[in-house]
A and B are shown apart, each in its own frame.
Chain A
Amino acid sequence: MKNEIQNIKKLFEEDLINAKDAASLEALRVKYLGRKGIIAVLMQKLPGVAKELKPKVGKELNLLKKDVEGKIKIAQSTVLKNAPQKADNIDITLPGTWKDGGKIHPLTKTLNEVNDIFISLGFKIAEGPEIEREFYNFEALNIPLEHPSRDAFDTFYIKEDVLLRSHTSTVQIRIMEKTNPPIQAIMPGRVYRPDAVDASHSFMFHQVEGLMVDKGIKFSDLKGVLNIFAKQMFGEKTKTRFRPSFFPFTEPSAEVDVSCIICKGKGCRVCSHTGWLEILGAGMVNPKVFEAVGYPAGKYTGLAFGMGVERIAMLKYGIDDIRLFFENDLRFLKQF
């Protein structure tokens, strides 16, 4: 038995010298250490060994096994280290085969960007119903019945007094009715107008409304807030321009332009060669709106603004057809 062990040891050393690659080392491992390998067979013979020799032989057998295991391991790692990995093993230019990525819709992405900027300025998100009463869409916002200022707000009706909101300014009223100042909120949401669908019109689109009400809010604050927004949304070098305008629910009112993000203000097709893009309506909350929500006269001032999410997304990504957002062609969605 002892001789057998010695012989096996010698035999293994010779085999080891000849085993020069991973495959032959694996064959060697199976030959000696496999379940039916040489050492296993020897182990099975152990019960037949004379009682007094058993501990010694057993010990040697174990030593042999450890020795073989250790040497094979070392040889394997040497082979691994030395064997140059052949460049033609795999063609790493073959396409990757992981599943498709999945994407968030470009409108959601744009909306999230807008929201995040205002959240960082301390605004909270609030939402209101899409199916609204006339009061919230019109009267409370100082848009009287049968007034030409309603022309800008053609509206889908469900029944008398119930309509699909045509702007998110409705949520201003909803919040102020329930909340006393200070208020600092943005109100994203879906709005509807009976416009025939074409490349630049949709009967459904998204807006973000902003509202800040407290004692002492000023028109210059409105400029400050929207300046920060424009720079964060469209780049540090973006300029803003405030033009007087008219919205029934703000006084003074302004249209806000940003320097064209395509041509950087030099003038191009997108900005109709003016260098400016109109992206926001804004103003100081009209005291008549405060009156409608029951705030005490003269106590508070507020700033408000609103923008179209589709328009911003179209400018930002250079999308030329609003219908693409709602068609959901995967070739479109995969680009964002």
Chain B
Amino acid sequence: MKVPYSWLKDYVKVNIQPERLAHFLTMTGTTVENVSKIGDDYIFEFEITANRSDCLSMIGVARETACILGKKLKIPKELQGTQNPKSKTQNFPIGITIKNPDLCLRYTARIIRNIEVSPSPEPLKKKIISSGLRPVNNIVDITNFVLLETGQPMHAFDLDKIEGDVAIRKARDGEKIITIDNVQRALNSDTLVVADSSGAIAIAGVMGGQSTEVTGMTKNILLESANFAPVSVRRTSRALGLSSESSYRFERKVDNQMVDKASGRASLLIRDLAKGEIGAFLDKGAKKSYSKTISFDIDASNDILGISVKKSEIHKTLKALGFGIKEKKGAIAVSVPSFRKDITQPVDITEEIARIHGYENFPTTIPQIVGNTTLKEDIYKFREKIRNTLASEGLYEIITYSLIARDDTAGISIKNPLSIDQEVMRSSLLPGALKVVSHNLNRKAKNIPVFEIGNVYKEKENAFLEEAHISIALSGLKRDDWKLHGEEYSFFDLKGIVENLFSELGLGSVAFNTEEIGPLAKSASASLEIDGKYAGFLGEVKDETLDTFDIKKKVFYGEINLKKLFDNARKFKKYASLSRYPSVERDISVIADRHVRSADIVSVIHRAGERLVKRILLVDCYTGRQIPSGKAGLLYRIEYRSQERTLEDSEVDALHAEIKSALSGELNISFR
């Protein structure tokens, strides 16, 4: 909201520089975004928080100013006390009915006759313009002036264009109105309208209609000053995509007590500036009292703040802000002014005291640490461990959006997406990872080793699940420098990283099984099992998938369910004692059918040599001219060791021979 400094000074005597005033206002909660000098005036731009509708007015800002400067607030006479000018409700020329008293809380109408519509005098025009509005004519300008001054929205109808009686009612589905901005708007039964016998003549609290608009020809007017329910105005304003100075204030609640006073203020101005004759007045829905009392305990308030604000200061602050105070035994009774709809409980009053006292004047204290043990943070630490392990493997952590474009994997849809790129919640981290690979390849990156830890989202039997996954993607050259040229990543680099991670996390029995996984190429696709349960997959991403991301390089990708790792990880590792005796190494060079898997060979060796085999290392793997077709040559190094004694050659030789015979017997393996 814009407030001209010159206008503000109509209500409060200010004797400090505008910039200083702006600072004081900001530091007490009426935030000034900007002060700019325009001509010989200064314009304050306020950012008024949603709770402070009272500050959407000159008087509201002036009240704050008066309070912090310790000055008196000067309010025009007709806005104080009882209704002014006095007039009777009899002989009101048209019938006015509130059909929905829950949506129209109060409705006043005043007849003013024989007006002369003309441009406003310059001082009024200037006030309107410097507040950011557009001058129209003296009648409209006066309603806007009173709106800006008091925060009470108003509307003037051309009385002679109103047909029959007026009702404040819900619109009929399909009912139409052309608003004063010359746009035809279709209404529905959620919209509250002011209607005459011909139909809607205003959208209540939002905007007037063109058919009854005040023009240069207008002689007699009906001046509306009302209080419409915030929710109704907000809903209508949103549905129509139409926000106005009026709707903005109604949404934030206006002062019920200002309705008739503001009408009086406007009427007198119209009498003075447009020669109008003030006529009949009608006030529907008014309550006897709008005040509210809160019992307030100063000690309790000071306890919350951590400071002792003096009773005299509290009294002074509250009075300046328009509150009433009655002392009772122990506590005080604070009556809340009708314009402060945000004050509903004692702590709201505490805030008033605190902000005017100045937050910067409060001490800083250190609370006693109250930490509690019921909150578990193991999973958080576990994630940190995974991050650190993968980063130390040379991988870069990425963070990608959890909303992605719709793809063939079933994801949870967003009802109101902003764009088709963020339509569904990801059910896998793969699309995000491939996007990153693609982005970096396009920027000439040669080596792309990345990982992510993030949630994936699934809907299951009407419940929404969030599961943390780990993804790893490798693409391009593993190393490319002046010593080692252009070695590309392979499946086994990915597998090695996963194995190292699992070893770091102390995971028990992990199995890699050949299994076709949707986005992976048949030739290199594996599922991952921990203690016999599926925990993820890894392999080479298939070409069709890469094509959709326009990737021309191989990508090796793995995705693992973090919870499954967490559940199976050994929290405490156990140390195995080191043998004092030397080990003996024997190589074994096997020629096996292609379908025989390395894991099978290793498990036969382990079983046959159980007593002394401590470690089996694959040293070489080759196919080629020396090897018959359909076969593969594998060279294993077996380490034999005893915990109790030095091994004899003969004993190792014998066991080695046993292993060989087991291999040839069980797996049809020959030796080189």
Give A contacts to B, CB under 8 Å: 94-95, 97, 99-105, 107-108, 112, 121-127, 129-131, 145-149, 151-152, 156-159, 162, 164, 175, 179, 181-185, 190, 192, 194-196, 203-204, 212, 214, 216-221, 223-225, 227-228, 241-246, 248, 251-254, 284, 286-288, 301, 303, 325-331, 333-334
Contacts and interface: CB of A to CB of B under 8 A. Distances in A.
A246 B439 contact: no
Contact of A328 (B359, B363, B375, B400): B400
Nearest to B442: A329
Contact of B305 (A105, A184, A218): A218
B399 A242 contact: no
Contact of A184 (B235, B370, B464): B370
A96 B362 CA distance: 56
B304 A190 contact: no
A101 B393 CA distance: 8
Contacts of A248: 51
Nearest to A156: B414
Given A184-B370, A220-B307, 19 more contacts: A95-B482, A102-B393, A103-B396, A105-B397, A108-B397, A129-B464, A131-B464, A156-B416, A157-B414, A157-B415, A204-B403, A214-B370, A220-B306, A220-B364, A221-B366, A223-B364, A333-B396, A333-B398, A334-B396
A252 B352 CA distance: 8
Interface residues on B, range: 35 or more
Contact of A182 (B370, B390, B464): B370
Contacts of A241: 360
A131 B387 CA distance: 24
Given A99-B479, A183-B370, A125 B416 contact: no
B303 A182 contact: no
A108 B252 contact: no
B402 A105 contact: no
Interface in B448-484: 448-450, 455, 457, 464, 466, 478-479, 481-484
Interface string B415-437: 11110001001000000000010
A182 B372 contact: yes
A192 B412 CA distance: 15
Interface string B27-42: 1110100000000000
25 contacts: A100-B394, A105-B397, A108-B387, A124-B375, A124-B377, A125-B375, A146-B235, A147-B230, A147-B231, A156-B414, A157-B414, A181-B370, A203-B418, A212-B370, A218-B305, A220-B365, A221-B366, A224-B365, A224-B366, A242-B360, A243-B27, A284-B304, A301-B303, A328-B436, A330-B396
Interface stretch (B74-82, B342-350, B518-526, B663-671): B342-350
Contact of A122 (B230, B371, B479): B371
Given A97-B483, A99-B479, A182-B371, A146 B234 contact: yes
B306 A219 contact: yes
A221 B367 contact: yes
A264 to B, nearest CB: 19
A226 B31 CA distance: 21
B549 to A, nearest CB: 14
B50 A147 contact: yes
Interface in B474-514: 478-479, 481-484
Contact of B51 (A112, A129, A149): A149
Nearest to A190: B402
A159 B425 CA distance: 13
A287 B347 contact: yes
Contacts of A246: 29, 49-52
B224 to A, nearest CB: 23
B445 interface: yes
B391 interface: yes
A328 B481 contact: no
| Residue in A152, A224, A252, A326 with the greatest tally of chain B CB atoms within 10 Å | A252
Which secondary structure dominates chain A's binding surface?
mixed
A243 B23 CA distance: 11
A217 B365 CA distance: 10
A127 B376 CA distance: 10
A21 to B, nearest CB: 27
A327 B305 contact: no
B445 A330 contact: yes
B363 A244 contact: no
B355 interface: yes
Contacts of B369: 121-122, 184
Nearest to A185: B375
Contacts of B418: 194-196, 203
Contacts of B387: 104, 108
B672 interface: no
A181 B375 CA distance: 12
A131 B462 CA distance: 13
Contacts of B244: none
A243 B26 contact: yes
Contacts of B417: 156
A166 to B, nearest CB: 12
B370 A252 contact: no
A195 B403 CA distance: 13
B351 A252 contact: yes
Given A94-B482, A243-B26, A284-B347, A220 B397 contact: no
Given A146-B234, A158-B414, A219 B397 contact: no
B384 interface: yes
B354 interface: yes
Contact of A218 (B348, B359, B365, B447): B365
Contacts of B230: 146-148
Contacts of B457: 130-131
B450 A328 contact: yes
Given A203-B422, A220-B365, A329 B440 contact: yes
A64 B231 CA distance: 108
Nearest to A193: B418
Contacts of B401: 203-204, 326
Interface string B280-310: 0000000000000000000000011111000
Nearest 5 interchain pairs by C-beta: A220-B306, A244-B29, A218-B306, A122-B369, A182-B370
Nearest to A94: B482
B412 to A, nearest CB: 6
B425 to A, nearest CB: 8
Contacts of B365: 218, 220-221, 223-224
A104 B50 contact: no
B182 interface: no
A227 B367 CA distance: 12
Given A251-B347, A252-B351, A183 B367 contact: no
A23 to B, nearest CB: 25
Contact of A148 (B28, B251, B354): B251
Contacts of B645: none
Contacts of A185: 375
B392 interface: yes
Contacts of B399: 105, 107-108, 325-326, 328
A328 B380 CA distance: 23
A192 B403 contact: yes
A227 B364 contact: yes
A252 B354 contact: yes
B359 A244 contact: yes
B413 interface: yes
Contact of B391 (A103, A151, A216, A284): A103
A102 B395 contact: yes
B311 interface: no
B391 A104 contact: yes
Contacts of A245: 29, 31, 49
Contacts of A244: 27-29, 351, 354-355, 359
A330 B474 CA distance: 13
A217 B355 CA distance: 18
Interface in B615-640: none
A105 B479 CA distance: 22
A277 to B, nearest CB: 15
Contact of B252 (A148, A196, A303): A148
